[in-house]
Chains A and B, each alone.
Chain A
């Protein structure tokens, strides 16, 4: 049994070297199987067999070399470092966008009452003028006009101050968009990293993974659809929602 194993290992080994020479995908799975076979030999207590140890040494070297030759060692190392970094970057994006949303909402909530007040006061003054002009035809009351003039002037005087306050908030909304530049760059980095990660993982999978289709089980909580192309089970806008509901009789 042992000799049979050894023979198998040898033939695998030559396969490996051959495949390396011909630049074919290296059968890492075979190496791993061989190693586990050797492990079982070791378990059987034939550790002292120098040949086996030599074989293990050689196989380990081969595995190490082939990983290095394909660049997997460095790439795996890089991936291991990049994933936590990407998490940090995404957290940064989340916090930046949250800040921007808060700043924008605060600015809007500050500006809307200013605008509302301007509008309400203008309507009120206009009403008073209309009434004063109407009553002027029956009995002229100079005092009413005097008060109105003073109120109107004071209203006009306060307008620049209020529009300045609104403008400040509009500027604040504009400045809150500065996140886009920063998060845009970060997202580009992450996209690049994920693409290279995907490529590396696919290569690794192709090198030694069983071909099995992952089952796609989409539930009802998928979040926003980021790409509606080639998907017939999603709606792209409110009109399509309305049409679907109408077609169902809702």
Chain B
């Protein structure tokens, strides 16, 4: 079971979507959730606070989700934070680009609570497996 105190950052330019993701996370027991409205704001928040998990949209003003992901993976302090993409972008190229950039998971909108839970659990398993390998 993952730690329920994990600190989440939900990145989406639509407040409705941020609210939905926040509520779904709460439903899954994760109450430590912060929000950012685009990649730039997210990176700023990531520098300041110790976040454990990022859930991000792709298409956003100022800085899109892919660029943000690339920035995170290139940053020594942030590169190990899992990033789950939740996006309406459904082209195969998008999915491949996200995977190559180091996304931990990819969910296409519209999505269900069950899908979110499944992907989160998969990422948690991968995280634990990585820790186990290191130890």
Contact = CB atoms under 8 A, between A and B. Distances in A.
A222 B64 CA distance: 12
A220 B94 contact: yes
| Chain B interface size, under 10 / 10 to 19 / 20 to 34 / 35 or more | 20 to 34
A153 interface: no
Contacts of B96: 244, 248
Contact of B89 (A101, A222, A244): A222
Interface string B110-124: 010001000000000
Given A220-B66, A221-B59, A244 B108 contact: no
Interface residues of A, number: 26
A221 B111 contact: no
Given A105-B16, A220-B66, A241 B106 contact: yes
A228 B92 CA distance: 12
B92 A234 contact: yes
A108 to B, nearest CB: 7
B99 A221 contact: no
Contacts of A224: 88, 90, 109
Interface hub of B66, B92, B107 (most chain A Cβ within 10 A): B92
A108 B27 CA distance: 12
Contacts of A234: 90-92
A76 interface: no
A236 B90 contact: yes
28 contacts: A98-B16, A105-B16, A112-B23, A220-B66, A220-B89, A221-B58, A221-B59, A221-B89, A223-B59, A223-B88, A225-B88, A233-B91, A233-B92, A234-B91, A234-B92, A235-B92, A237-B108, A238-B108, A238-B111, A238-B115, A241-B90, A241-B95, A241-B107, A244-B95, A245-B99, A245-B106, A248-B96, A248-B99
A169 to B, nearest CB: 14
A245 B90 contact: no
A66 to B, nearest CB: 44
B93 interface: yes
A250 B19 CA distance: 29
A108 B90 CA distance: 29
